[in-house]
């Protein structure tokens, strides 16, 4: 949960920067990109930890299913954002990338803390 909140915070920061440089449309696209990454991480975590304490093969299957769910969501959401909603591609991908860095920083912080 903490990692997902860090991703949303990172998306908010980059959306604010896009608002200052390019306006509301770019800020909305950056926030959408960050939200895509954060929702994907939330889906991964939900599916991965769904079995609770279980055998290694059950946990491995849950992790693979979580990754598949995350990537299915990401591809579908990018298709909707770029194809259907026609959001600006550069801010959208920038928000997605910055949120992914937030994910990695969150994991490093959890390991140390």
Helix (H, G, I), strand (E, B) or coil at 52: coil
75-95 b/e with 16+ CB inside 10 Å = b? Answer: eebbeebbeeeebbeebbbbb
Q: Which of 69, 68, 64, 63 is CA-nearest to residue 49?
A: 63
- Per cent of the chain over pLDDT 70 is 96
Q: Please report which helix (H) or strand (E) contains residue 89, including its range.
A: helix 89-112
Q: What is the pLDDT of residues 63-98, one digit of tens each?
A: 999 999 999 999 999 999 999 999 999 999 999 999
Residue 113 has pLDDT above 70, yes or no: no
């Amino acid at each position: 949960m903490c990692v997902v909140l860090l991703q949303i915070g990172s998306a908010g920061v980059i959306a604010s920067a896009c608002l200052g440089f390019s306006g509301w449309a770019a800020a909305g696209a950056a926030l959408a990109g960050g939200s895509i990454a954060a929702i994907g991480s939330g889906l991964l975590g939900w599916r991965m930890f769904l079995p609770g304490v279980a055998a290694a093969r059950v946990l491995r299957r849950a992790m693979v299913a979580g990754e598949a769910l995350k990537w299915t969501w990401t591809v579908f959401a990018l298709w909707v954002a770029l194809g259907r909603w026609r959001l600006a591609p550069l801010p959208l991908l920038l928000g997605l990338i910055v949120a992914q860095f937030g994910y990695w920083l969150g994991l490093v912080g959890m390991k140390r803390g």
